[in-house]
Amino acid sequence: MGDLEVKYQKLLDYLKGLESVAVAFSGGVDSTFLLAAAKEALGDNVIALTAKSCLFPESESGEAEEFCKNIGVKQIVLDLGDTELPSFQHNPPNRCYICKKGLFQKFLEKAKENEMVCVAEGSNMDDLGDYRPGMQAITELGIKSPLRAAELTKAEIRELSKQMNLPTWSKPSFACLASRFVYGETITKEKLAMVERAEDLLREQGFRQFRVRIHGTNARIELLPEDIPRMLDGELRKEIVDKLKRYGFTYVSLDLEGYRTGSMNEVLA
């Protein structure tokens, strides 16, 4: 048995030890893999909890719903009003802590209503390297992190997902739209919609891994380095600039450093 198989068995054993679990399920690479593993380990003693709000694109919720139906897991969707929390809306550096604390408190309540022993989330070993205040809330609330317990990395999760024929194995990494805002800038539904439309446009143009960061009404586009030359094509560049300005952006810039996770954290000491 290879190292990957050993880690997967460790994950299944960990999940079986939980007896029953409500999985925080977004439809991304990690939570999809975790939900599939939980279904294998626990059968009907697993449910999926999905948050619905303006922080997540509509396309994500549709894919999540379809996956739950396909594997026969009950999904409960909680309609949230994240941006209505003043402390969150003002976007301090611990914004993710505020959001996750409120969200997972709701998840714990819903898990109890459905007689689930605990709540689990999909962070992996790679998530330990960046500034992630949301992890503090996870720890404080006693939320389980099975993928970290099994010491699985993102690359290993993708490889196992491929072996399990999960549709997300090659899906680009995604984070909530609030992560596109510079700290201290007020998060509004209008600006979230601007970012979502801009990123939808890049996806329609065939770009796979990217971010559109918002600074006031200025857009800063992050692309994989190999995709930057394509963006410089005159016709495509003009189309994207024109459309982003129609969406409400004043200026559109291309970040020459390229796509990277947590780029908004670079200003933090």
CB 268 within 8 A of CB 93: yes
Q: Which helix (H) or strand (E) holds 218?
A: strand 218-223
| Alpha-carbon torsion (135, 139, 145, 151), positive or negative | positive
Contacts of 128 (CB under 8 A, 6+ apart): 148
> Distance (Å, rounded) from C-alpha 161 to C-alpha 30?
9
Between the CA of residue 1 and those of 128, 142, 151, 253, what are the distances in Å?
27, 32, 17, 49
Helical pair 3-18 and 29-42, crossing angle rounded to 10 deg: 70
Quick check: is 54 catalytic? no
Note the helical H segments in 142-205.
146-149, 154-163, 189-204
User: What amino acid positions are annotated as catalytic residues?
Assistant: 176
